A and B are shown apart, each in its own frame.
Chain A
């Protein structure tokens, strides 16, 4: 059984087609990254897979369950979502923020248990936030804040996690640290990850597979090293992209023509 099965998924809002006929089958314990130009439908896809956006057509099955037919609580036990711009409540400390991830494991009016507390402590240690556990979450740096959001997703204890641009606003070092944390959970715990990323080099280096979206449709899927070399990539982005080998690592770079040269080229 696949971790995630997407069948003929379509999302149309006010006549605008955001996704059309998307069909995917994602295996357990692998990291899939959705890439594509702005407006390709990446966020719409991951939000629909996470169940927080309703599809117009088609369906999403996670571990065999139709996520849009489930109650919120049951769905949140199957899939965790890390949104692109998480709401960070002012004044809440990191520990209180992270334990929000245990919500689907409580009754509506029932509190948590000692095992919930122990899990939060364990996850905070795994993401390196133990010493900041009682800091106001709004006072954290961008990288620390994103790790707190990631910790909240981990204590949700799902086998599938969906992340929308988990490295937004981070510098290169923090981006790498964040993605290494993710990679470790995939490798060590068998997590299935569906993420979106803008940075094609990081997408190619950290993910097992890439899904290239363009205009709401899947243009290419496959192993990361194959998709970054595909001609479809340059076509989707509307600019020439090349893959450079740097000590065995694929680096995706755009072929930039200087403005003055472009002007000459276009005038001739």
Chain B
């Protein structure tokens, strides 16, 4: 008897096509949003002309606004949203914990401490603004935090999901307390800069930054997606996974390294953007079921779309001022999470 295509596979294909269309429309719309009025077709034509397709109808000033300011910001939102969502989904799989997000093992606290050191101690404490080397210290802090968590939670080969999560809580608390102390003992202008960084922003996005993080994001995302089948196996627990031939520790290490590295790369550039890694995998799960083979590829398009929309709100909701991106993602994410919880609680018939 030939194997019939299961309903879940057909549904996944339909959702995938729809999500790509929505992502492209959202990105196109984000190119148009802004103080300077540019039509949608002209903005898209301008972007295509830079890719060698057709000619732009915009003036030099409009071209600079679309191609040098808005397009890298939209591209950055797509890349960061995709990475955070894939990392969040991977963490939820590897820890078998629906509340896991990419910051579970201390990345947020480590990156925050690194950025705080850059802004308050190495930079000019009297000046406002965020030094250019902040991303490197944030990245270093994030990776150091994960390494510390792994060395504590995985010592003696006992890196079970529970011990790693507990180690992550301890490391996060420790690093956050140091970061808070440094922040409190700094000038008010430095404190403001630290807060701005902690809340995340895409306002300074440039093509150079986008190209800098893309290799990390592509490699880490591909590793996570390729691990989808292994994460499905992990859903039956460590002991059964080992009996099924899965090298549990190796898979856990690989997925955590890929997720953490990708997350650290994007966080170091845009700051701490919360809720994407927690919410998006749950939304995807509601549409295509619980298999990580289906969830993780769709996290790319869903996460990218979510952050493009959130950033559009962040820069257009108030006239003349931007809302910090982390505030917008939390404002959208918290109610969405409550809705998901209510849907998940409904008894199946």
Contacts and interface: CB of A to CB of B under 8 A. Distances in A.
Interface of A: 50-52, 71-77, 80-81, 83, 86-93, 95-96, 100-101, 103-104, 106, 108-109, 111-112, 114, 117-118, 120-121, 125, 133-134, 136, 139, 156
B136 to A, nearest CB: 30
Nearest to B8: A93
A100 B229 CA distance: 8
B3 A118 contact: yes
A121 B3 CA distance: 7
Contacts of B250: 108
Interface size class of B (residues with CB under 8 A): 20 to 34
A95 B6 contact: yes
A243 to B, nearest CB: 35
B7 A52 contact: no
Contacts of B291: 92, 96
Contact of B245 (A76, A83, A114): A76
A105 B111 CA distance: 40
Nearest to B244: A103
Interface string B17-37: 000000000000000000000
Given A83-B240, A86-B236, A93 B246 contact: no
B243 A52 contact: yes
B239 interface: yes
Contact of A92 (B2, B226, B232, B237): B232
Nearest to B294: A96
A139 B349 CA distance: 10
Nearest to B290: A91
In this complex, the member of A92, A133, A156 whose beta carbon has the largest number of chain B beta carbons within 10 angstroms is A92
A232 to B, nearest CB: 31
B236 A71 contact: no
A245 to B, nearest CB: 39
B154 to A, nearest CB: 17
Contacts of A136: 348
B290 A90 contact: yes
Most buried by A among B1, B7, B285: B1
A51 B244 contact: no
B246 to A, nearest CB: 6
B227 interface: yes
B247 A125 contact: no
B3 A108 contact: no
B288 to A, nearest CB: 10
Given A108-B230, A134-B8, A89 B239 contact: no
B96 to A, nearest CB: 9
Nearest to A114: B3
Contacts of A106: 229
A121 B1 contact: yes
B69 interface: no
A259 B317 CA distance: 79
A134 B7 contact: yes
Interface in B235-272: 235-237, 239-240, 242-248, 250-251, 254
B3 A117 contact: yes
A89 B246 contact: no
Instruction: Pick from B230, B232, B245 the residue with the most CB of A within 10 Å.
Output: B245
B245 A109 contact: no
Contacts of A117: 3
A72 B290 contact: no
A51 B3 contact: no
Contact of B243 (A74, A80, A134, A139): A80
A95 B7 CA distance: 11
Closest 5 CB pairs of A and B: A76-B245, A104-B245, A91-B290, A89-B235, A81-B243
Contacts of A77: 245
B83 to A, nearest CB: 19
A89 B3 CA distance: 23
Contact of A134 (B6, B232, B236): B6
